[in-house]
Amino acid sequence: MSKLVIAIDCDDVLLPSTYAIVDAYNRQYCAQVSYQRAHESDNTEWSAPRAVVHSRIYAIQLTKEYATIQPFSEAVVAVHRLASAGYELHMVTARSGILLEVTTAMVRNYFGKGVFTTLEHVGLDATKGDVCKRLGADVLIDDNLKHLTHAAEHGVGGLIWFGNYPWQDSKTIPAGIKHCADWTSVMSEIEKHANA
Ligand SMILES: [Mg+2]
């Protein structure tokens, strides 16, 4: 297998996050944010200016409850397999840099040191294409379509749309993007890229 550089999203790819954030936000701020629209930057369901929404989300992400969300067991197995096979793995997350410690602890606890070459925190409302280009990523695995389309514009050829979530309209999959509902299907897609 060739040594692909693989960029892997964190939230909702390695562990379930959106449901926890939306549930906590709705509970604390009496809002009615839907899972369907949770990732739209201009979604007014958050019922606050964007800067306020961001600081509220950061506060939720800095809680013990959030820090102790466990990764999907199949993601842990898959990431270890990829690392053992010699792939260069980078986590590319839309988490803010202020979450670096939370992310680092989670990675250390569940994935081990050195599995990811870097942990890239691009920030909420940012896109991931530039980072993927800088890393020389061959593949991006992400549950959020906007990051995949942005990565495509920056020359990333392997675009894997992960999961089966309410915020994904997988009836309309853009050309060049492969929808993989689970990690088993992600692994076979990566194998195709490695052998291409
Ligand atoms: Mg995500």
Give the distance (Å) from ligand 1 centre to CA of residue 196: 27
Q: What is the pLDDT of residue 171?
A: 82
DSSP 8-state symbol, 30: T
Q: What is the pLDDT of residue 135?
A: 97
**pTM, whole model, 2 decimals?**
0.95
Q: Residues with Cβ < 8 Å from 26, sequence gap 6 or more?
A: 32, 33
Q: What is the pLDDT of residue 1?
A: 46
Q: Give the residue ranges of the chain where pLDDT is below 50.
A: 1
Q: Does an H or E element contain 144, and which?
A: none
Give the distance (Å) from ligand 1 centre to CA of residue 180: 14
Give the distance (Å) from ligand 1 centre to CA of residue 109: 20
N-terminal to C-terminal alpha carbon distance within the chain: 10
The CATH architecture of the domain made up of 5-16+70-195 is 3-Layer(aba) Sandwich (3.40)
Q: What is the pLDDT of residue 158?
A: 97
Q: Rounded to an integer, what distance in angstroms lies between the CA atom of residue 22 and that of residue 3?
A: 37
Give the distance (Å) from ligand 1 centre to CA of residue 85: 24
Residues by chain with Cβ below 5 Å of ion ligand 1: 9, 11-12, 143
| Closest alpha carbon to 10 in 100, 87, 83, 84 | 100
Buried b or exposed e, range 34-46, using 16+ CB within 10 angstroms: eeeebbeeeeebb
Query: What percent of the chain clears pLDDT 70, i.e. is strictly above it?
Result: 99
| DSSP for 109-141, written as a single string | HHT-TTSSSEEEE--TT--SHHHHHHHT-SEEE
Q: Can you give the residue ranges of every domain in the chain?
A: 5-16+70-195, 18-67
Give the distance (Å) from ligand 1 centre to CA of residue 140: 11
